[in-house]
A and B are shown apart, each in its own frame.
Chain A
Amino acid sequence: MLEIKNLQVSINSKQILNGLNLSIKPGELHAIMGPNGSGKSTLANVLSGKSGYEVSGQINFEGKNLKGVPVEERAQKGIFLAFQYPLEIPGVNTNNFLKTSLNSVLKANGKKEVDTLSFLKLVKEKSLELGIDEKFLSRQLNVGFSGGEKKKNEILQMKILDPILSILDETDSGLDIDALKIIAKGVNLSRDKKKSFLVITHYQRLLDYIKPDFVHVLSGGRIIKTGHGELAEELEKTGYTKLN
């Protein structure tokens, strides 16, 4: 599904990712851990197509090179990024926005757009599944949301847009244990043979609830170690410094 080869990324001449290789197959869930400043969020941003980076190397998604593919097309092809810091967009109603985005994704894939009624039904269903209050969807997008609500909203968006590759950028940061469980539930319920996940996190805690197939350690812009669940546990005890 996702094949990253020798990815080099710099911003304002500062090298952030330095020859990163990663391969994610359909149905797999990969966790990336790493110290602050190791390039985790940069990786997420570059995968989403964010501008402002100098990128070389290769990113193939579903066999196709993503080079030059704009942000919205990546989303339409099924790449979803749950933001570390979801943005507040005043004046934009969350429901309207979500409906517009769902329809642009459906349209791009040659599928029939949904009307308001069936959209609201879908939202209700997904909110119920996650155990979250759909009321915040009638508010302005992320405006005045608590940290937890913002992250839950990201996961709800993920459920509604139904991507094949979801990248979760520190979605667990700043969450209480209940919110964390909701996030984990959202991911676990979506997991199937076709969908893949890239979960970026600082803490092993999230991985107690979401069982990864692979755990990678990102440091100095490269993956320096790959293992399974136990690697995360080891890191929790020893920290990153010993790995270097």
Chain B
Amino acid sequence: MQNFEVNSNQIDKIKKITSDEKDFRIKNLELFKASGFPNKKLEDWKFSDFKYIVDSNFNELKIKETSFNQQNIDLISDFEHNYILLVDGNLQSSNFNYEEKSKIIINSFDKSTDYKTTSNSLVNLNHALAENGYSLEIAKNYKFKKVLVIYNLFTKDLKNIILNNKNRIKLNENSELHTIEYTINESKSKFINNVYENIILEKNSKLKNLTIQKNKSDGFFHKFLKCKLLLNSNYLNLIFSSGLKFNKIDIECDLINENCECNILSALFLKKNEHQEIKTCINHLAPNCKSYQKVKNVLSEESKGVFQGKIFVKDIAQKTDAYQLSKALLLNDEAEFNSKPELEIYADDVKCSHGSTSGNIDEDALHYLMTRGLTKNDSIKLLIKGFLNDVVDYIKNPSVKKFIENKFEEQINGH
């Protein structure tokens, strides 16, 4: 691909813009222009050379013009839920019929420019161009009664488009929310979805977020997730991912006050030449916080899985309890898994550990299952499910759990 160039008049097209916002966008565009798409020379991208991936998959890239058609989708009927519908990242509609609406603020895009300068050029690009997304804020003491499903629909006319969307979730004191991000793909062509997501959990609040795809996609996904956890807050992120050509989720989580808890768990199933990376940076900035990360990958054919996980413990963050584990099950010789754990600890009274394993299907286990009449194929599927199952067990709501199990099983069986 020829160089992807973004003209600064792209920013001039943005309507209702303050001069501060404009400066912020221009500054970030300059940063992006200076470095271009990230490549493997950068430590954070050493296993996922995004520039190379873009160059070899796209002849050209265009920025989505902001015109969105009304879209209809089939809602999930397995369990009652609230929902918001995003069409190519743009907030189209929302429905909070199960909740007290006065406790919820939903807007289409958060215009704040209060972001630290970053060296991640995809984030720079997002800061420069993002005009769509959602901003959700839950009032103090309000606990959601039902799950909120975020339908993330990608329409069919996205050929060679790069989308830049920005989302924000803020939970005020003592509030609780459970979301399911459900990606539906209608695009038959390649596109890039570059998302920045901002999560703020105030004192005693609790957020559970689950991600899963309805179907496979030729989209290339990058999401940078910035979470800030305040006193006693609790964050759980469950990532089930399968059938995406490229997916990198970069999570930076700041545990700002005491007694926060951050759990990141993922169950990934990759095939063909799919490429997925989970990168985390958990910053323990206060004492008595807990973080737990478990990343499980099943890799077949020529797929590639990457986990780069960092735990940072500041000198004052005594009694930190941080754990990180990555496990990969490789189904053949061509599949690849890269794991880079990193611990940076400045406090002396902490519990921090990490582990990483990768291996093949256990032939003896396979034989055992087959002696009970199961075919080799069914036995392998059972072992894959068994391998990924402990992540599914984190879902407490039985009907949601059943739904996710079925979806994930479809994806495994369909491969």
Contacts and interface: CB of A to CB of B under 8 A. Distances in A.
A87 interface: yes
A104 B368 CA distance: 15
A89 B374 contact: no
Interface stretch (A78-86, A179-187, A217-225): A78-86
Interface string B368-392: 1111111110110011011111100
Interface in A66-91: 70-72, 74-76, 80-81, 83, 86-87, 89-91
Contacts of B370: 49, 70-72, 75
B373 A101 contact: yes
A104 B365 contact: no
Nearest to B364: A87
Contacts of B46: none
Interface in A125-166: 140-141, 157, 161
Contacts of B340: none
A126 to B, nearest CB: 15
Given A97-B382, A100-B378, A100-B382, A89 B372 contact: no
Contacts of A161: 372-373
B386 A50 contact: no
B402 interface: no
A108 interface: yes
Given A83-B368, A104-B378, A92 B373 contact: no
Nearest to B296: A91
A48 interface: yes
A70 B373 CA distance: 10
Interface in B343-384: 362, 364-365, 367-376, 378-379, 382-383
Contact of B382 (A71, A74, A83, A92): A92
B373 A87 contact: no
Given A72-B376, A75-B373, 16 more contacts: A49-B371, A72-B370, A81-B371, A83-B368, A83-B371, A86-B368, A87-B365, A90-B386, A90-B387, A90-B389, A91-B390, A92-B385, A97-B369, A100-B382, A105-B373, A157-B372
17 contacts: A48-B371, A49-B370, A50-B367, A72-B371, A74-B371, A80-B371, A83-B371, A91-B388, A92-B386, A97-B382, A98-B372, A101-B373, A104-B374, A108-B373, A140-B386, A157-B372, A161-B372
Closest 9 interchain pairs by CB? A91-B386, A91-B389, A101-B372, A71-B370, A92-B386, A75-B373, A105-B373, A87-B368, A104-B373
